[in-house]
Amino acid sequence: MTTTSDVYISGTRDDPALRARAAIREDTDRLLRAYQAKAALVTELELDGATRQEAHTRLVDFSTDQLRHHLAVTDRVLYATAAGAPGTRLLVRALRRQQQAVSRHIDDLVAASTTAQTTRAARAVGAVLAVCVDIEHTVLLPALAELPGADLPSLAEELRTLLHGGELDVPEVLDVRPVPHGQRHPRIFGRYARLVPGESFVLVNNHDPKPLRREFTATHPGEFTWDYLESGPSQWRIRIGRPAVPA
């Protein structure tokens, strides 16, 4: 039965997908502002030696802890889900390259030993991070909202859970037989994204998912295991895992 609270008009403020996008943007914008505020202390203010070193240390700690954690969670929840769809796969590859660039600049920030090196690295992190956030807001989130099989409100909740140190409740078996074909792959990739190294899940399908395996090979080369537990004729069961040590 549909309750009054379940009824909404798509595109209005009551639309769960729009509310989820707003929640994700709020968390990401908060992270970006926090980084920019800390970076400004070492790039814009002429602080004395001890004070400047303290500001540098705090910026490094924030970047290697909260910032890198946020990037990893975003990849695990949002990027991995979008990586399972042909229309967003290239977008995810581009975003992951942006994340890798942010990580390299963080390494430069950690290694910086002069004022010039610190300023250059801090500005580089901020510039690439801002681009990455903008692409997420303007391209990735709208695409996820329209992606068959992706539930943006659920993704937003999972994102927040992981950002706050929680753990996700993940079922061991994913039966996609009742799911329309066009919605299966994003759901499967989303389930894979929730695995930590050494974990796995069992996929139940009504055909041999060879195209899915090719997509996994293209998207996660050497980062997954694939073992047939049952091979037809009416049901296929495959254990898909994330190896403890990449293959």
For residue 236, pLDDT beyond 80: yes
Q: Cα(223)–Cα(216) distance, rounded to whole angstroms?
A: 9
Q: What is the pTM of this model?
A: 0.75
Q: Summarize pLDDT for 24-70 with one digit per residue, the tens.
A: 999 999 999 999 999 999 998 777 778 888 999 999 999 999 999 99
**In terms of CATH, what superfamily is 170-241?**
TusA-like domain (3.30.110.40)
| Mean local confidence (pLDDT), 85-96 | 90
Give the model confidence (pLDDT) of 209-219 as tens digits. Answer: 999 999 889 87
Neighbours of 137 (CB within 10 A): 15
Confirm if 27 and 163 have CB atoms less than 8 A apart. yes
The answer to whether 18 and 137 have CB atoms below 8 angstroms apart is no
Higher pLDDT, 5 or 130: 130
The residue assigned the tokens 């041999």 is 208
Tokens 């990735």, residue? 140
Name the residue ranges covered by the structural domains of the chain.
13-159, 170-241
